[in-house]
Amino acid sequence: MKNSKAKAATGTVAESPLLASDATVAQALPLARFPIGKVDKVDVSLPEGYHEPSLKYVERDARHGSLETAMTYTTVPNPFNCANFSSEPVSECFFFPGSKEVLMNLPNYPQPLVRPKTTSFHMIDVPGKGKGLFSTRALKVGDLILTERPLLVCARGVVVLRPPNFSDAQYSQYSLDHLERVTEIAVSRMRPEAKAAFMALANCHMEDGSGPLFGVVRTNGLSLGGLRPGVRGEMGTYNATCKDISRLNHSCSPNTASRFDMASFSYSLYAVRDIADGEELTYQYTAVGVPAAERKKELAPYGFVCTCTACTDVATSDARRSNIAAFNANLIEARASDKFLGKFLVKCRAQLELVEQEGLESLRIYWVLLRALMDVYIWRGQAKDASAYAAKLDKILWDADLPQDYKQFIDPKSPAYEKHEMWRKVYRG
Ligand SMILES: C[S@@+](CC[C@H](N)C(=O)[O-])C[C@H]1O[C@@H](n2cnc3c(N)ncnc32)[C@H](O)[C@@H]1O
């Protein structure tokens, strides 16, 4: 499913890179199936350093040979060494070597799953979209809507050995069959209620050669980074399938965004602007700052054409979005003139308005602009105005990249103002 804001998460659900280019080939080859390599469960003992039963899996393709992929199936957090959380939902994971260690080496891992006090959503049928999530109360920007551990976290970019003499189409189907098998092992480890939730999720890959389980992963998986240090791009991310977040439908002006917390191994979903009681909760599956035609292409594998306002009034929206993308909100002048700051302020406010008109509060540019406005007011010595923007920044809980130093400016009387190196350092002219 989604792209977690290309990086975030974040969150968003993405197609397997292995399959993205093969999808059309596979479509042309409906029911052709090929035997896949023998899967040996060669090691169910505890690898050194682990305090939980991990299933080590090695694939040996008896006929073709040489590739051995050592992957780990594991449960996070592990009910054996995290007895305090044994009643909490867990994630079944299919990990590359090293990912488990990332978690084990976190100083504060594992943490419990902290749920919001009130339920703020329910799932209902949406004409033309399957099911979707809707708010059951008015939400304010920054409100926590839900937290959840993924049902399944699956490695992306698993290398599948290409048997000799296989055509592209044959190899594509062979890979899909292989990925179905590895997904099946992870799903078979799920608790019954988790498995039922997984099996109930949408699958828009019924007709392209994907198996029923891998089809669900492709339809619903959010992009999850941070578990493969040193591995760049898509290959460095996992595919996380969730019970609730995966039920969110896409909008190019999403009103929610998620953030993943490694220590509790959970997503938190936040309102990125005020949401009315009964409004549909939406999420971005793909980068939304780009032109409509690009978004349409990226969304095609999900089997729908987006009909949000940005995709229907393309001329207006594309012009605004390219304007937003082109703006540089960095305050570059070391000692700025009052005149420069005045103009910069007007520009930032106008850009902020564009971001709000386009419903792009989930994007990084939103807080970059709020921060720039706060900075300008600090430079000008206007603490009250600066603190209003600091307070807005304080609502942006969905973006882990936001530097937290704004917090000292929330109180307009804070001594941090006078200590700021640019406080009232503006010269006339
Ligand atoms: C991750 S699922 C979202 C939840 C799904 N609607 C369900 O019933 O569980 C993705 C699928 O939902 C549908 N969908 C998501 N956003 C949509 C939209 N904006 N318009 C139409 N269909 C959408 C598509 O069928 C897509 O393949």
130 lines ligand 1 (CB under 6 A): yes
Picking from 273-287, 324-338, 362-376, which range would have the lowest pLDDT averaged per residue? 324-338
Cα angle 6, 185, 218 (rounded to 5 degrees) comes to 30
Compute the average pLDDT of residues 77-86. 72
Whether residue 76 has pLDDT greater than 50 = yes
Residue with tokens 């307009």: 412
User: Tokens 């490695």 identify what position?
Assistant: 155
Rounded mean pLDDT, 220-235: 92
Q: Which two tokens stand for residue 190?
A: 């799920």
On the question of a cis peptide bond just before residue 17, with omega within 30 degrees of 0, the verdict is no
Residue spans of the domains in the chain: they are 17-283, 327-419
Q: What is the pLDDT of residue 5?
A: 37
Give the least confident one: 15-29, 200-214, 263-277, 405-419. Answer: 15-29
The residues facing 91 across adjacent strands are 76
Contacts 24+ apart (CB under 8 A), 191-195: 191/89, 191/90, 194/89, 194/90, 194/92, 194/151, 194/243
Q: Give residue 81's pLDDT.
A: 67
* Lowest mean pLDDT, pick from 8-17, 97-106, 121-130, 303-312: 8-17
pLDDT at 360: 98
pLDDT of residue 338: 85
Euclidean distance between CA atoms 382 and 405, whole angstroms: 18
pLDDT tens-digit series, residues 171-191: 899 889 888 988 988 898 899
Question: How many percent of the chain have pLDDT more than 70?
Answer: 81
Class of domain 17-283: mainly beta
pLDDT at residue 334, as a whole number: 53
pLDDT of residue 351: 97
Give the pLDDT confidence score for residue 160 in this predicted structure. Answer: 74
pLDDT in tens, 287-343: 999 999 999 999 999 999 999 999 999 999 999 999 999 998 876 665 578 888 898
d(C-alpha 266, C-alpha 269), whole Å: 10
Q: 202 or 33: which carries more pLDDT confidence?
A: 202
Instruction: Taking residues 152-172, report their average pLDDT.
Output: 85
Report the mean per-residue pLDDT for the chain: 84
% of the chain surpassing 90 pLDDT: 63
pLDDT band, residue 429 (cuts 50/70/90): low
Position with higher pLDDT, 108 vs 425: 108
Q: Which atom of ligand 1 is nearest to the CA of 13?
A: 1
pLDDT band at 262 (very low <50, low <70, confident <90, very high): very high
User: What pLDDT, on a 0 to 100 scale, did the predictor assign at position 38?
Assistant: 40
Which atom, in ligand 1's list, is nearest to the CA of 126?
6
**Does 51 have pLDDT greater than 80?**
no
Q: Can you tell me the mean pLDDT for 232-245?
A: 93
**CA–CA gap between residue 390 and residue 367 (Å, rounded):** 10
Least confident of 4-13, 147-156, 406-415: 4-13
Predicted confidence at residue 6, as pLDDT, reads: 33
Q: Which of 261-275, 321-335, 360-374 shows the lowest mean pLDDT across its residues?
A: 321-335
Rounded to 10 deg, the angle between the 338-358 and 314-326 helix axes is 140
Please write the tens of the pLDDT for every residue from 145-156: 999 999 999 998
Residue with the nearest Cα to atom 21 of ligand 1?
Answer: 129
Grade residue 162 by pLDDT with cuts at 50, 70 and 90: confident
Q: What angle, 0 to 180 degrees and rounded to 10, lies between the N-to-C axes of helices 338-358 and 364-380?
A: 150
The response to whether residue 128 sits with its C-beta less than 6 Å from ligand 1 reads yes
Give just the sign of the alpha carbon dihedral 100, 241, 138, 259: positive
CA of 246 to the centre of ligand 1 (A): 9
**Distance from the alpha carbon of residue 426 to the mean position of ligand 1, in angstroms:** 51
pLDDT at 106 over 70: yes
Query: Where residue 371 falls among pLDDT bands split at 50, 70, 90?
Result: very high
Find out whether the beta carbon of 60 lies less than 6 Å from any atom of ligand 1: no
* 409 Rama sector, left if φ>0, alpha if ψ -120 to 50, beta otherwise: alpha
CA–CA separation, 395 and 142 (whole Å): 5
DSSP class per residue in 64-119: T-----EEEEEEES-TTT-GGGTTS--EEEEE-TTHHHHHHTSTT--------SS-
The tokens for 228 are 């493969």
Average pLDDT over residues 376-402: 97
The pLDDT assigned to 27 comes to 26
Position 47 pLDDT exceeds 50: no
So what's the pLDDT on residue 340?
A: 85
**218 Cβ closer than 6 Å to some ligand 1 atom:** no
Answer for the pair 172, 160: CB distance below 8 angstroms, yes or no: no
* Closest atom of ligand 1 relative to the 303 alpha carbon: 27
Comparing 83 with 312, the larger pLDDT belongs to 312
Distance 248 CA to ligand 1 centre (A): 7
CA of 427 to the centre of ligand 1 (A): 54
The more confidently predicted of residues 316 and 425 is 316
- Answer yes or no: are the C-beta atoms of 258 and 270 closer than 8 Å: yes
Alpha-carbon torsion, ordered 117, 1, 353, 315, to 10 deg: -150
Place of tokens 């350092």: 425
